[in-house]
Amino acid sequence: MDKTKDKNHRERSLPVHFQYPSSLIYSCLSAAYLRLRIPKSAPYELKPAGNHGWGGFATRFIAKGSLIYREQALFTLQPRGAQQVHDYTILWKVRQLSAQDKETFNLLVKAAALDGDDKVSNVFIKNYFRLVNVANELGVPTRSHQLGFFVFLSRLNHACVANAYVPQNEGKYISCYATKDIQPGEEIMFSYCADFESMQMEQRHRLLRFTCRCVACAPGTAFHELSEIRRKLIRGLNFLTQGMDLAYPRRDGHGPSGIIADPILREAAKELYMPLMSRLFYESMIGLLLEEEGMMNAMIEKEIIARMRGAVRLLQEADNMVLALRIMKQKRWVDKWLVASQTLHKPDLGDIDGYLMLNMTCTA
């Protein structure tokens, strides 16, 4: 996913719906799920996962950074939102599938029916990922959104601090990568929403509509307390660098922005008027906080570094350039942040260019 935080495209898989309350449901689901043939190339199997219904468990060691599974959508739809997907549209798509794919789809419908839900559209809602940049019929990439139905990666459960990551998408495919070393038998989980990095527990659970019990969602623990502070800070830092509040819907382009108390700083951030050297400090702090939170991974890192490089390229003053190169040279985020802290709010002749360029990109 483009963590340059394309304003409208951050939603990935949607927070989904029902709790799986009893062992009765597990055994009903098992009838359907045991018949679901996980492809041989996928290094996980389906098993009951405590209060998460069923989940995917590693069948072998999966090294940090490696691809876990790449899946093609069984079919795609192009509605305005998943809630607007109608049963008949889905069934029309399913009619065009191969016999084997139809059977797979029917297994998920059966599992849902055993769970007391016979609406095909709800099955879709539970198994879709948002796709952007899908090529149109002529093969030309578009910015339009599609929703893809994914059978196998949809079986993975959510964790706010996860061991896997699903970047936004690549056309009709989605891929899941390990963000940590995963041992055989360990459950593979990813965060259902990229913006959760800027949200505190209560808001995350409200959107998910279920109660996550990962390490960040364990009130009373030191990790949870720190996590709440870190995510609030990340929210503020994202606002300062990108001019938007990722924790709230932004119909008008800007969120409530209560996250930044200082009105002058808030207005400057909204207008994307932020000195380049300050950007380097804020971005390195985001990196440090994400790492501390256990949410850093190669893809996010690449995106933050790309944004930092963009700022460095625009610098015009020699002493700032020297400092910036020192920041970029540091291997660890904590060191980048320490060096960058010497530069906060230091102006540069390139600040105006940076401001113009960002505003042009954002309005284009």
Residue 325: how many CB atoms within 10 A of its CB?
A: 12
Residue 214 or 277: the one with the smaller Cβ distance to ligand SAM is 214
Please answer whether residues 306 and 299 qualify as being in contact, where contact means their C-beta atoms are separated by less than 8 angstroms. no
Window 195-214: contact mask with ligand SAM (x via CB under 6 A): ---------------x-x--
Please answer whether residues 159 and 212 qualify as being in contact, where contact means their C-beta atoms are separated by less than 8 angstroms. yes
Please answer whether residues 42 and 16 qualify as being in contact, where contact means their C-beta atoms are separated by less than 8 angstroms. no
d(CA 49, CA 214): 13
Residue 46 or 339: the one with the smaller Cβ distance to ligand SAM is 46
Residue 293 or 351: the one with the smaller Cβ distance to ligand SAM is 293
Give CB contacts under 8 A, 24+ apart, made by 325-329.
Answer: 327/280, 327/284
Considering the complex, what minimum distance in angstroms separates the CB of residue 300 from ligand SAM?
A: 20
Q: How far apart are the first and last CA of the chain?
A: 20
Q: Is 17 in the site for ligand SAM (CB under 6 A)?
A: yes
d(CA 95, CA 269): 50
State which amino acid sits at residue 283.
E
What residues contact residue 36 under an 8 Å CB cut-off, 6+ apart? 46, 104, 107, 108, 151, 155
Considering the complex, what minimum distance in angstroms separates the CB of residue 278 from ligand SAM?
A: 36
Considering the complex, what minimum distance in angstroms separates the CB of residue 51 from ligand SAM?
A: 5
Considering the complex, what minimum distance in angstroms separates the CB of residue 39 from ligand SAM?
A: 17
Please answer whether residues 276 and 320 qualify as being in contact, where contact means their C-beta atoms are separated by less than 8 angstroms. yes
Residue 155 or 235: the one with the smaller Cβ distance to ligand SAM is 155
d(CA 190, CA 130): 15
Considering the complex, what minimum distance in angstroms separates the CB of residue 210 from ligand SAM?
A: 4
Q: Classify residue 193 by its DSSP letter.
A: B
Q: Classify residue 279 by its DSSP letter.
A: H
Q: Which stretch binds ligand SAM (CB under 6 A): 47-55, 74-82, 272-280, 335-343?
A: 47-55
Window 48-77: contact mask with ligand SAM (x via CB under 6 A): ---xxxxx----------------------
Residue 53 or 167: the one with the smaller Cβ distance to ligand SAM is 53
Considering the complex, what minimum distance in angstroms separates the CB of residue 116 from ligand SAM?
A: 13
User: Which residues, listed in sequence order, are joined to residue 174 by a DSSP beta bridge?
Assistant: 71
User: Would you list the DSSP string of 154-178?
Assistant: GGSEE-SS-SEE--S-BTTEEEEEE
Q: Is 157 in the site for ligand SAM (CB under 6 A)?
A: yes
- Total of residues contacting ligand SAM (CB under 6 A): 19
The residue whose Cβ lies closest to ligand SAM is 53
Residues 232 to 261: which contact ligand SAM by CB under 6 A?
A: none
- Alpha-carbon radius of gyration of the chain: 22
Q: Is 27 in the site for ligand SAM (CB under 6 A)?
A: no
Question: Cα 327 vs. chain centroid, distance in angstroms?
Answer: 27
Residue 216 or 304: the one with the smaller Cβ distance to ligand SAM is 216
Window 113-132: contact mask with ligand SAM (x via CB under 6 A): -------------x------
Residue 53 or 350: the one with the smaller Cβ distance to ligand SAM is 53
Q: Is 341 in the site for ligand SAM (CB under 6 A)?
A: no
Q: Is 20 in the site for ligand SAM (CB under 6 A)?
A: yes
Considering the complex, what minimum distance in angstroms separates the CB of residue 193 from ligand SAM?
A: 12
Residue 29 or 134: the one with the smaller Cβ distance to ligand SAM is 29
Residue 119: how many CB atoms within 10 A of its CB?
A: 13
Q: Indicate the burial class of 27 (C-beta count within 10 angstroms; 0-12, 13-18, 19 or more).
A: exposed
Q: Is 8 in the site for ligand SAM (CB under 6 A)?
A: no
Place of tokens 């009130």: 219
Considering the complex, what minimum distance in angstroms separates the CB of residue 293 from ligand SAM?
A: 17
Give the interface with ligand SAM as residue ranges (CB under 6 A): 16-20, 29, 51-55, 126, 154-155, 157-159, 210, 212
